[in-house]
Amino acid sequence: MNFYKQSVCKPRGFVHKFLVIMKFTTILLVTAFLQLAQASNAQRITISKKNATLQQLFKEIRKQSGYDFFYNQEDIKKAKRIDISVQNQTLEDVLRLCFEDQPFTFMFKDRTVVVKESKPNEVLWSNFIQKVELKGKVTDEKGGPMPGVSIKLKGSNVATMTDWNGSYALTLPDGNGTLVFSFVGYASQEIKVDNRTWISVVLKEEDSALSEIVVVGYGTQKKKDLTGAVSSISAKSVENLPIARADQMIQGRASGVQVTQTQSQPGGVSSLRIRGTNSINTSNEPLFVVDGFPGAGNLNTINPNDIQSIDILKDASSIAIYGSRGANGVVIITTKKGTAGQSAINFEAYYGLQKVRKPYKMMNATEFGTYLNDAQKLTNIETPTLAKALPYTDAQIAALGEGTDWQNELFQTAPISNYQLNFIGGTPETKYNLSMNYFDQQGIIINSGYKRASIRFNLDKKVGEKLNFGFSSQLTGSIDNRALVNTGGGSAGGVLLDALRINPAVPVVTNGDYTYQNGPTGYTFALGNPIAYANKTTNQYKDLRGLINFYGEYEIIKGLKFKTTAGTDFDFLTRNLYIPSDIFLGSNTLGSARKEYANAVSWVNENTLTYDKQLNENNAINIIGGFSMQQFDTNDFFSASTNFFTNVLGYDNIGLGANVLTPGSTHNKNTLASFFGRANYRLMDKYLFTFTMRADGSSKFGKNNKWGYFPSGAIAWRIIEEDFMKSLPFISDLKLRGSLGVSGNQEIDPYQSIGRYPTNSATLGGSTRVVGVSPANIANPNLSWESTSSFDIGLDLAFFKNRITMTADYYSKHTKDLLLNVAVPRTTGYASILLNAGGVDNKGFEFAINSENINGKSFQWTTNLNFSLNRNKVTDLAGEKERFVGDASSSLFPSGTGGTNVLRVGESIGSFYGYRFVGIWQTKEEIAASGISGVLPGDPRYADLNNDKVIDAKDREIVGHAQPKFIYGVTNNFTYGRLNLNLFIQGVQGDDVLNLNKYELESGDFTTNKLATVNDRWTGPNTSNTIPKANSTLRRRTGITSDVVENGSFLRLKTVSLSYNLPLGKGLGKTIKSASIYVTGTNLLTFTKYSGYDPEVNSFVNTNVLSLNTDYNAYPTTKMYTAGVRVGF
């Protein structure tokens, strides 16, 4: 037996936690900065002292450099006092001055200076070695300076880095030796010194398509060595775009990945599908891993400017290492780390304006007044018992004019701004990145908007040759003012829905105050003033989120490394809601207030051993094994009251409400323990083999199935390495790969496998509340995760020295043991039991191509294209043929058949199910000849599929599919001198959208305002065969019909960005290393046949995973124009 644990969330406890976290974070930052200050000054010393002892000098040098000194205290007393004055000199030069004419010599041992007494006739080595001062400059192929290039004397510890101008200076022991120049993404060069004092070098970019480093589970690999299907997106590809969330970086840029912006309001979320929809009853979202922390959801709180790269793992070979959480794919987000070399300060800011992309064209006051009169005239004729006077006289209609454009009153041109400042740099031993960001997006619906402030600090520290440690951390606070959209409609209202439904003859303000409600009463639907609601109601969410992940890595022996990580992810959310009593929706309750507190805390500890060894010229292995433990803990609490005698304090004093509602709280916890391993074997750089295994133990599942096992294997053949390929020099890479494996999905709430007993209450005697519990479900000790077996075969191909690279994959996935509620006999006392039953298949093809079309000295043009298609099919429903699913507003269908979709074996998830619209009944004779009863001329006509002369549930069929036939994205990037133009096109083809707005705005309810197209409605025989007569409610009484299922295909010019790199004169060039300005347009053009605000929509994504592509008063998509500046110091 399991009782939900009741807990009360105390505000003081929340504040205390917040303060402790802030103190802890501050201590970490201060400590890290002190370490950085030491490390960044390690190479240069400034000191001025007279008559100083060596001990005093050692203390000062240690303070500035971080180097320790090892010496004999008795011996050092023999040293002479010294006068010294140096500025910005190397450590070695300063020590040479200190030990001049002293009976000591010194040597370096890691970061320690060892001082020892000189033997007789021993001379300080630095006094007789002939040193060589070498200088030079490093540039790229276009002549641009390259800061941060590593320069090392081969076989020694002598090294330095280029400064911001690409220049370097190095002191060599003699004029011999070889210098090694290296930089990430560029081919290393080795150059002999040959007694020269000036050496300039031009570094060339490596073949990035093959040498690119890809982040995979618990490690990295070169792209050429991958055996799995992985898509990668770099920060550079979206650097001039106003990205508000991390998922926007992915949309249209990765094959096999569909990102749908289901909620367009600021702070809204997107739906992300990797290779189709796998599940019916659980989440289909991928696992997000941020800087090695798995399960780090809520991407809204991650500053996109902090992201370095996003790698998307798609096939069994790459996702099996995440076991029971990998079935929906894995998205690995890596944030920016520090770089060794010259420190930099980067600042970026942009400001823009947003407006609704395409508003509905509604009836004006005169047109709607005429419509109301027509509806009432028809009702008086057809139903004399309901006859009454017309709502308007002819004179009144003539005086109505245009009336109020309620959309124009509700929508605004809204600003958006973003400010980013980061400090990045370090030394070879210590690297850091500190970034601060402020993002402010006001909504196009008045009084809605989202603000986010974040700070991130990432640190990587190298201690000696074997030990590394560091951490990534972020702290984000956000305020989200939400508009009332995506409602159930009816009397629940909604600012957007009511702005479309309200009579345009009603003014916004009457006698100096907001007009209270719709009119004329008795002829129009009873709803309130949406502008009053938007301006007077508060619905605010405040979120404080922190993510900290520490790591330590130690090389036990060469090639064998132990790594441990420990991190926590905490999210504290509060909601404040107040609906005042002086607006329509607040009048029934005389004002209502609600406060909610929720916190989610998770921690993870992972430990791995990695062995990476080049065994010989032809054999190399990489083996990783590890153990992981993760825990998730959530608490929430709410309280509410109604009947306020004043609106002054709003939600700040819930006690003012005379009617206190029953509060509630919950506490949930679940844990996951895992063992995992992966082995990579590379034979002759031709044949690649990968085997992966993970075992997961989850507290979510039944006692008989706590552990699951998820294996995978993959092979790849680098055909390009075969001798016969030498005869095809235009092919620069060719690899064939295949993988097979199993992954899982455990995304259900905790405690589903055991008996649960929720509370029930009743009020006795009018005042006594009695509380009890009752059983809610049948326990299932055998409950386990969903299991997805995947097969993938892929081809990687490149031409003309990798100027054209292509990747193509075919995949087949079968998900079985779906977590499905299966009906049981009513004699059990329950309606269903949660079982592992049912199956879903996904098969598809994806293709990506990157090309350097033109690569001239002054003009470059590159193209990136991706294309994906997926075919989804339900294969098993635990013996059932079909189920009716999908959410819709109950107010839309007071007598219609419930459910918008059908789950049917052999069909795809997201199949819209309803009646086929075939036109308008034109005459009584036509109706009589058909034998159909209950309809009148001017009503919509639906197909009688079984020819029984009755239109009922037996005549329903699949009338559309939410899943697209294919998706695609194309990016073209043009560079001419200092100018850069980026064009991004995104498209979805072959999907349908259920436009529920049409039941309110076109036909089905004649008490609300209508689309302007309804002016062309049926008014007599042969006047219209598409839009019913004014008073027809048949569509609403019927249910889902094919004429409200619209083609959702679209082609969108998603972004156009033009940037210019500003020239820097010699004066500015010493302080500013780069500066650019840019302008960007977003959602500028959309080509679609969809009649709503936007075809990229899903109103019920939060309540039902099976309600795909449904549009009902959803927040509209915006068109945006921004201008920005980027400066580097």
Distance CA 37, CA 432 (A): 11
Q: Decide: helix, strand or coil at residue 460.
A: strand
For residues 993 and 386, give the distance between their C-alpha atoms in angstroms, rounded to a whole number.
36
pLDDT of residue 382: 92
> Could you tell me the CA-to-CA distances from 299 to 242, 267, 286, 328, 482 in Å, in that order?
16, 10, 12, 17, 18
Task: Please list, residue by residue across 692-723, b when 16 or more beta carbons sit within 10 angstroms of its beta carbon and e when fewer do.
Answer: bbbbbbbebbbeebeebebbbbbbbbbbbeee
Q: Is residue 120, in this structure, part of any structural domain at all?
A: yes
Tell me: pLDDT of 610 over 50: yes
pLDDT at 296: 82
Mean pLDDT rounded to a whole number for the chain = 88
Q: What stretches of 558-591 adopt beta strand conformation (E)? A: 560-579
Q: Find the helix or strand (DSSP H, E) in which 842 lies.
A: strand 839-855
Residue 70 lies in a domain: yes
Cα–Cα distance for residue pair 487/475, rounded to 1 Å: 32
Amino acid at 513: D
Q: Final residue of a domain: which of 156, 175, 202?
A: 202
Q: Record the pTM.
A: 0.83
- Give me the mean pLDDT over the 711-735 stretch: 93
Confidence of residue 6 (pLDDT cuts 50, 70, 90): very low
What gap in Å lies between CA 844 and CA 276, rounded to an integer?
9
- The whole-number pLDDT of residue 116 equals 79
Domain count, the chain: 2
Give the whole-angstrom CA distance, residue 574 versus residue 570: 13
Average pLDDT on 556-583 reads: 95
Q: How many CA atoms does the CB half-sphere of 129 hold within 13 Å?
A: 13
DSSP 502-545: S-TTS-SEETTEE--B-SSBTTB---B-HHHHHHH-EEEEEEEE
- Name the residue among 297, 293, 272 with its Cα closest to residue 335: 293
Domain boundary among 65, 98, 128: 128
Gap between the terminal Cα atoms of the chain: 63
Who's near 1063: CB < 8 A, 6+ residues apart? Answer: 978
Least confident window among 50-54, 384-388, 947-951: 50-54
What phi and psi values does residue 321 have, to the nearest 5 degrees?
-70, -15
**What integer is the mean pLDDT of 128-138?**
75
The listed range with the strongest mean pLDDT (57-71, 88-102, 705-719) is: 705-719
Query: For strand 449-463 and strand 707-718, is the pairing parallel, antiparallel, or unpaired?
Result: unpaired
Residue 15: pLDDT over 50: no
Whether 774 is covered by a domain: the verdict is no
Q: Which of 656, 578, 1100, 708 is nearest to 887 (CA)?
A: 1100
pLDDT at 1104: 64
The answer to whether 294 and 604 are in contact (CB under 8 A) is yes
Q: What is the pLDDT of residue 125?
A: 41
Please report the pLDDT score of residue 898 as a whole number: 62
CB contact at 8 A, 897 and 956: yes
Token output for 227:
């055996």
Does 25 share its domain with 91? yes
271 belongs to a structural domain? no
Coil vs helix vs strand at 135? strand
Look at residue 25 in the predicted model and tell me its pLDDT: 43
- Is residue 1105 within 8 Å of residue 819, measured between CB atoms? no
Give the residue, 1069 or 219, on which the prediction is more confident: 219
Give mean pLDDT, residues 253-260. Answer: 91
Question: Nearest to residue 398, comparing CAs of 365, 356, 362?
Answer: 365
Q: Please give the pLDDT value at position 886.
A: 85
Q: Is the same domain home to 113 and 139? A: no
Give the pLDDT band (50/70/90) at residue 34: very low
Compare 211 and 674 and report the one with higher pLDDT. Answer: 674
CB half-sphere exposure, 945, CA atoms < 13 A:
12
Same domain for 189 and 154, yes or no, is yes
Q: How many CA atoms lie within 13 A of 362 on its CB side?
A: 30
Q: What Cα–Cα distance (Å) separates residue 385 from each residue in 380, 489, 520, 550, 1007?
A: 8, 29, 21, 76, 18
What whole-number distance in Å separates Cα of residue 1112 and Cα of residue 892?
10
Tokens matching residue 887: 């959410």
For residues 113 and 70, is the Cβ–Cβ distance under 8 A?
yes
- pLDDT tens string 796-845: 999 998 999 999 999 999 999 999 889 899 888 888 999 999 999 999 99
Helix-helix angle 54-65:91-98, to 10 degrees: 180
- Determine the residue type at 505: A
Say which CATH number the domain at 153 has.
2.60.40.1120
ω before 504 within 30° of 0 (cis)? Answer: no
What is the Cα–Cα distance from 996 to 994, expressed in whole angstroms?
Answer: 6
Task: Answer yes or no: do 123 and 18 share one domain.
Answer: yes
Residues 61 and 81 in one domain: yes
Among 165-174, 776-785, 925-934, 988-997, which is the least confidently predicted range? 165-174
What the block records as the tokens of 1093 is 């605000």
Write down the pLDDT at residue 47.
87
Asked if pLDDT for residue 422 goes beyond 90, the answer is: yes
Mean pLDDT for 1081-1091 is 95
Residue 36 reports pLDDT greater than 50: no
- pLDDT, residue 850, reads 94
Q: 626 — phi, psi (to 5°)?
A: -160, 170
Q: What are the distances in angstroms from CA 937 to CA 852, 922, 1024?
A: 63, 5, 11
Q: Where are the beta strands (DSSP E) in 357-489?
A: 414-426, 430-442, 449-463, 467-481
The verdict on 75 and 142 lying in the same domain is no
Q: What is the pLDDT of residue 896?
A: 54
Give the Cα separation of 969 and 987 in Å (integer).
Answer: 6
Q: What pLDDT band is residue 781 in, cutting at 50, 70 and 90? A: very high
Q: Are 118 and 153 within one domain?
A: no
Q: Which of 162, 184, 202 is the last residue of a domain?
A: 202
Is there a single domain that holds both residue 109 and residue 148?
Answer: no
**DSSP labels, 754-818:** S-EE-EEEEEETTTEEEEEE---S---TT---EEEEEEEEEEEEEETTTTEEEEEEEEEEEEES-
In DSSP notation, 818-835 reads -EEEEE--GGGT-SEEEE
Residues counted in the chain: 1129
Q: What local confidence, expressed as pLDDT, does residue 60 receive?
A: 86
Task: Output the pLDDT for position 197.
Answer: 86
Are residues 141 and 45 both part of a single domain? no
Q: Does 37 share its domain with 122?
A: yes
Q: Is position 137 within any domain?
A: yes
Q: How far apart are CA 171 and CA 131, in angstroms?
A: 7
pLDDT at 215: 85
1102: confidence class by pLDDT, cuts 50, 70, 90: low
* Structural domain that includes position 198: 132-202
Q: Does pLDDT of 710 surpass 70? A: yes
Q: Is residue 682 part of a domain?
A: no
Q: How many CB atoms lie within 10 A of CB 464?
A: 11
pLDDT given at position 1094: 94
C-alpha pair distances (Å), 367 with each of 371, 377, 1002, 1019: 6, 15, 14, 14
For residue 714, which of 789, 793, 788 has the smallest C-alpha distance?
793
Judge if 136 and 167 occupy the same domain.
Answer: yes
Residue 84's CATH number: 3.55.50.30
Residue 1000 lies in a domain: no
The answer on pLDDT for 983 being more than 60 is yes
pLDDT in the model for residue 955: 94
Residue 307 lies in a domain: no
Average pLDDT for 542-571 = 95
Looking at the predicted structure, is the pLDDT value of residue 231 above 50? yes
For residues 438 and 350, what is the distance between their CA atoms, to the nearest angstrom? Answer: 11
Pairing of strands 44-52, 687-698: unpaired
What does the pLDDT read at residue 9? 33
pLDDT of residue 542: 96
- Same domain for 119 and 36, yes or no, is yes
pLDDT band, residue 673 (cuts 50/70/90): very high
Residue 481 has pLDDT above 70, yes or no: yes
Number of other residues whose CB lies within 10 A of the CB of residue 217: 25
φ/ψ of 428, rounded to 5, equals -60, -25
> Given this model, what pLDDT does residue 154 score?
84
Using one digit for the tens of pLDDT, what is the confidence trace for 1035-1068? 888 889 999 999 999 999 999 999 999 988 776 7
Position 342 pLDDT exceeds 50? yes
Higher-confidence residue of 20 and 451: namely: 451
> In Å, what is the CA distance from 89 to each residue of 825, 829, 978?
86, 85, 38
Question: Binning pLDDT at 50, 70 and 90, where does residue 42 land?
Answer: very low
